[in-house]
Structure 1
């Protein structure tokens, strides 16, 4: 086509070529750039400039075009010379610095989750960006563009970024924490959905008839000890005191990694009679397995549980379906324990200690059952008084 060949956004001048594109300059709002390349406007050079523009446009669309890229392509730009000096600390640099600190203080599962979140949502986009050049407007627009509907997911995505920026402030890599202006979304907490005592007995009876005995032992402990599923699969025989009917809860297994308890506190629990009897029956299956030491194994392969999925998929969900009971997650065995204790009139503070909850959290979560039973007991006191008064009058 010769010299008259047209290239979008590329303009020939007497002794140079202009490249035009829209970019935010590493900041908030977008603007038009027309930058000069010191090349004669020959056809091969014009074609090369068009390819460069295409590459720049693609990087801009992906959010990967940085001031450093701009400087590499247009070192003599007037706009570039007007920009303030850069710190040289990229988002990736600060991320790596923070992760080194975080690895020493966070649980392994939390650390890996934060690392994956940053890599997926932020590092891949801002990897080589000067972190001080990223603005609140840019972050806000980017988060909105992700289209995350779930408040919990949105907050989980934002949490490691908030921590990274807190580190950046402390290490003076930035002067402004742009995450402070982003509000966390309100998450509606799912209320406990416990099984009734009749439903619990039906579930255990079904498991006893259909599955190997270790599964019955597992779920009887789940219902009558109140442990978290992650704590139960990490329970070891050395933590069981058969003389005092107690168990020491000092570990949990989350995403196939052993860690401390959710509250980072060791607690001793009383094994209620049903839980103690199930634990005693379980001894004949795993107690002598010195290489393991764990109370509960998967009966299908005689290996310790690497996560909480097998009890759910193999036994829990199929049993609820078979009995026509509304499906629930595994935490409902724990909620069922709590509500049974409250219906039995047990001290809420005692139950909270058993479950590893703070009294305040326990009251917040189970206030409906605490208030309900308390109201009935108080009402019964007045009824008893009135009944006595009525009997006296009858005499």
Structure 2
């Protein structure tokens, strides 16, 4: 009996006698097989039941999607946070439908059905889930398990544009002053934290992981080489490249205030605070700030009391970047301080680069054209 399954021509020998009854049994079996293929329900298990003596089944070594995905994830050299994100995405969106299917039986049409039937939280979540699946299947292609990546033809949602919403300098200074004015004792560490955030542009995860050993006040430098991720200290940055950040006077003031808080904590006798290795330790329970909510409650309270439009505290970083650009600082220097590429800096903050120079650029155009016949008003003799 001959038929095509999964793009391959199959030929199976049946144990029926060459009699009218045997031929009818063979015809019925072929009709059953072609029907299952047509409706997409023929899998390796059913195939083995229909053809128990099949040479194809005997030599099939194609792993199931679930097995392959687990082995693939275990073999990846990625940080714990990235591995966790991949595992959650696979388990939540792809495993329920694909886990028991041989990896070479999964088609683009199957994946489109999964995508179409999933209630995605956002276009960004959908995009990430599809991209992660595409990476998995790309490895399967390299391993020779499949000939083509079935995710290649799945359309990705457009990448969501990040909202850049910095504070003005006046707003930033008002928030900092308010925090210093209203927070007392060891709580002042959060005022110092936000002054440092506004005037270094470091990522919140980098500030939370900053140790005193990485601060050189004499040279006015900090070494940015670790972050907080998933409640733990990781000896890396987001971009995996360590860098040095130069400290301006406001950042140095924040460091000095953090030192005062540390000294005060150490003098307290009722609560014996051990000397913290971190510049901005939280006031309770933990050695370092493990999540943004610890600082955000003070930040949002300050915005509310000052009648400043609510924004994420990550915009402290955007504020520093835009302040530097509007001050006319070298984009390459700013990018290095932020841990960006120059291209990323220019694409992210183009609006602020242009806004301060638009009229001067028009001025350049006019200065080049003044006096030429294209713009000069000529006096025509009567």
Secondary structure of the 1:339 match is helix
Partner residue in 2 for 1:87: 61
Instruction: Name which of 328, 343, 350 aligns with 2:326.
Output: 343
Partner residue in 2 for 1:224: 199
Partner residue in 2 for 1:193: 165
Residues 244-302 of structure 1: CA distance to partner in whole angstroms, max 9, x if unpaired?
00011111112223332111111111011101111122123348887741111112446
2:279 aligned with 1:304, yes or no?
no
For residues 69-108 of structure 1, the aligned pairs below 5 Å read 69-70=45-46, 75=49, 77=50, 86-102=60-76, 105-108=77-80
Cα distance, 1:337 vs. partner? Answer: 0.5
Residues 62-108 of structure 1: CA distance to partner in whole angstroms, max 9, x if unpaired?
xxx87244357xx2x37996987643411122112211221xx2121
Whole-angstrom CA distance in 1 between matches of 2:39 and 2:275: 63
Q: Relative to structure 1, is the Cα distance of residues 170 and 151 closer, same or farther in structure 2, using a 3 angstrom cutoff?
A: same
Q: Relative to structure 1, is the Cα distance of residues 381 and 279 closer, same or farther in structure 2, using a 3 angstrom cutoff?
A: farther
Whole-angstrom CA distance in 1 between matches of 2:42 and 2:100: 7
2:229 aligned with 1:254, yes or no?
yes
Q: Relative to structure 1, is the Cα distance of residues 160 and 66 closer, same or farther in structure 2, using a 3 angstrom cutoff?
A: farther
Judge conservation of contact 1:233–1:253 (CA < 8 Å) in 2. yes
Q: TM-score, normalised by structure 2?
A: 0.77
Whole-angstrom CA distance in 2 between matches of 1:119 and 1:302: 32
Q: Relative to structure 1, is the Cα distance of residues 89 and 330 closer, same or farther in structure 2, using a 3 angstrom cutoff?
A: same
Partner residue in 1 for 2:308: 325
Cα distance, 1:354 vs. partner? Answer: 0.8
2:240 aligned with 1:264, yes or no?
yes
Q: Relative to structure 1, is the Cα distance of residues 143 and 379 closer, same or farther in structure 2, using a 3 angstrom cutoff?
A: closer
Q: Relative to structure 1, is the Cα distance of residues 184 and 221 closer, same or farther in structure 2, using a 3 angstrom cutoff?
A: same
Q: Relative to structure 1, is the Cα distance of residues 180 and 286 closer, same or farther in structure 2, using a 3 angstrom cutoff?
A: farther
Q: RMSD over aligned Cα, in angstroms?
A: 3.1
Whole-angstrom CA distance in 2 between matches of 1:113 and 1:248: 28
Q: Relative to structure 1, is the Cα distance of residues 113 and 267 closer, same or farther in structure 2, using a 3 angstrom cutoff?
A: same
Secondary structure of the 1:248 match is strand
Q: Relative to structure 1, is the Cα distance of residues 82 and 242 closer, same or farther in structure 2, using a 3 angstrom cutoff?
A: same
Partner residue in 1 for 2:22: none
Whole-angstrom CA distance in 1 between matches of 2:154 and 2:318: 34
Q: Relative to structure 1, is the Cα distance of residues 194 and 70 closer, same or farther in structure 2, using a 3 angstrom cutoff?
A: same
Secondary structure of the 2:223 match is strand
Judge conservation of contact 2:278–2:287 (CA < 8 Å) in 1. no
Judge conservation of contact 2:195–2:251 (CA < 8 Å) in 1. yes
The number of equivalent residue pairs is 325
2:198 aligned with 1:215, yes or no?
no
Judge conservation of contact 2:281–2:287 (CA < 8 Å) in 1. yes
Whole-angstrom CA distance in 2 between matches of 1:79 and 1:272: 76
Whole-angstrom CA distance in 2 between matches of 1:184 and 1:277: 47
Instruction: Name which of 128, 140, 160 aligns with 1:168.
Output: 140
Name structure 1 gaps, 5 residues minimum: 1-17, 32-64, 385-395
Partner residue in 2 for 1:178: 150
Whole-angstrom CA distance in 2 between matches of 1:377 and 1:281: 41
Cα distance, 1:187 vs. partner? Answer: 2.0
Q: Relative to structure 1, is the Cα distance of residues 257 and 181 closer, same or farther in structure 2, using a 3 angstrom cutoff?
A: farther
2:102 aligned with 1:142, yes or no?
no
Larger mean CA deviation between 143-152 and 197-206 belongs to 143-152
Q: TM-score, normalised by structure 1?
A: 0.74
Whole-angstrom CA distance in 2 between matches of 1:366 and 1:193: 10
